[in-house]
Amino acid sequence: MKTIIQPEKNKRHIFLRQGIVYSKQPVKDGTVRDLHLSLLTPVGHRTKDANANPCVVWVCGGGWRGGRERHAEMLPELNYVAEAGYIVAAVEYRVIGEAVFPAQINDVLTAIRYLKRHAEEYHIDPERIGIMGSSAGGHLTLLAANNDGQFDTAEYSEVDSMVRCAVDFYGIADIERIFAFNVNALKNGTARRVQDPSQFGESLLLGDLPVNIPETARKAGPVNGISEKTCPVLVMHGDDDHVVNIEQSELYYEAMKNMGRDIPYYVLHGADHGSDEFFQGEVQDIVLAFLQENL
C-alpha cells in the first residue's frame, strides 16, 4: 500500500563527526600523540542551514583516566543538548600516566581555542561556547569556568579560551580537601576503593601527594581561582555520592556565594556518583534552561 506523508519538521537531524585531531602533545613515554574531539552537530552533508550554532564542550570523567578512548562515550546521553540546537564537542585530554597536571586543563583549553579558530568550518558561534563535565571532567570544567587564562598555551593563541557558562556534575572543586577526605576514610576504615594515598587519583594527577606539593595542589583546585571573571556555573551533585563526596560541591557553592555569586546548585536526593537520576528529563530541562539563559 502506497502512502504519502508529510512529517512536521520538529526534530533536528543530528550528525556525529569523529576523529578530529585538534592537537598533538607529548606523553610520558617520549612519543607525541594526537588529541581528538568528536562533534554532535545539526550541520551535516544533508543540511542546508549554514547558521552558526552555540557550542557546548563536554569533558568526560573517569578519575582523569577517561579522557582518551572514553572521551565520547557519553555523547548518546547528550543528544538532547544537540537536539536543542547546540553543537556538542567531546574533547580528549591527556590522562594520568601520560602527563601530570596541568596538562589535562591545558588540553581542554586548547580544544576550546581550536573550536574558536575553526568556528566557521564547524558552524560554531565562537562567542557562544560553554562547557560541561562530570566528576574529573567536572573538575576540569570548573577550572575552565574561571576564565583566568593561567592554563592557556601558545597553540591557537590568536583566539581566547573564554567560556560563557559551565555545567558541573559532581566534580572536584578542592584537590587538597578531597585528598584529606580520602585519607581520613582510609584511617577510619571506610575507604571503598584505593588503599594507598600515592595511588589516589588526585595524587596521580599531580604526580605526588598533594600535601607534598601544596602550591600545585592549591592551583589545581578550581575553588581557589574563583573571581569576577568566573562564568555562570550550574552545579549538580547527589547526596549519596560514594566517589566524590558532596562536600566538594558544597565548598564550591559557598565559595561562589562568598564572592556574591548565588549560582544554581541542585542536590539530587538519593543519587550516587553518575547514577540514573542524572539522566532524567527533569535534570535535562534544568540544564537546557541554564544553557538557554547563558548561551
**244-262 residues labelled b (16+ CB within 10 A) or e (exposed):** bbbebbbbbbebbeeeeee
Give the SS3 label for residue 116.
Answer: helix
- pLDDT value at residue 191: 61
**By mean pLDDT, which of 4-13, 48-57, 110-119, 191-200 is the weakest?**
191-200
pLDDT band at 45 (very low <50, low <70, confident <90, very high): low
- pLDDT value at residue 9: 81
- pLDDT value at residue 283: 98
- pLDDT value at residue 46: 60
In this predicted structure, the answer to whether residue 94 has a pLDDT above a threshold of 70 is: yes
pLDDT band at 13 (very low <50, low <70, confident <90, very high): confident
**By mean pLDDT, which of 40-54, 72-86, 261-275 is the weakest?**
40-54
The CATH number of 15-23+34-41+53-173+228-294, from 3.40.50.1820, 3.40.50.970, 3.40.50.300, 3.40.390.30, is: 3.40.50.1820
**By mean pLDDT, which of 34-48, 51-65, 164-178, 196-210 is the weakest?**
34-48
Give the SS3 label for residue 129.
Answer: strand
Give the SS3 label for residue 167.
Answer: strand
Beta carbons within 10 angstroms of residue 165's beta carbon: 21
Cα–chain center distance at 143: 9
Are the CB atoms for 173 and 139 separated by under 8 Å?
yes
pLDDT band at 192 (very low <50, low <70, confident <90, very high): low
**By mean pLDDT, which of 14-23, 38-47, 94-103 is the weakest?**
38-47
Separation CA 178–CA 174 (nearest Å): 6
CA distances (Å), origin 194, targets 183, 190, 203:
10, 11, 11
Q: Average pLDDT for residues 194-219, to the nearest whole number? A: 93
Q: What is the DSSP letter of 71?
A: T
Q: Which residues have C-beta within 8 Å of that of residue 282, sequence separation ≥ 6? A: none
Q: Which three cell numbers stand for residue 135?
A: 566528576
pLDDT band at 12 (very low <50, low <70, confident <90, very high): confident
- pLDDT value at residue 183: 87
Domain residue limits, the chain: 15-23+34-41+53-173+228-294, 175-220
Separation CA 104–CA 201 (nearest Å): 13
- pLDDT value at residue 172: 98
The reply to whether the predicted model has a pTM over 0.85 is: yes
Q: Average pLDDT for residues 182-211, to the nearest whole number? A: 85
In this predicted structure, the answer to whether residue 190 has a pLDDT above a threshold of 80 is: no
- pLDDT value at residue 47: 61
Nearest Cα neighbor of 241 from 211, 203, 270 is 270
User: Which residue type, as a one-letter code, is found at position 40?
Assistant: L
**Taking the alpha carbons of 20, 22, 27, 33 in that order, is the dihedral positive or negative?**
positive
| Gyration radius from the chain CA atoms | 19
**118-138 residues labelled b (16+ CB within 10 A) or e (exposed):** ebeebbbebebbbbbbbbbbb
Q: What is the phi/psi pair of residue 203, to 5°?
A: -70, -45
Separation CA 289–CA 80 (nearest Å): 12
For the chain, the residue count is 295
Q: Average pLDDT for residues 165-185, to the nearest whole number? A: 94
Q: Average pLDDT for residues 3-31, to the nearest whole number? A: 92
Separation CA 134–CA 273 (nearest Å): 9
Cα–chain center distance at 59: 3
Separation CA 189–CA 82 (nearest Å): 44
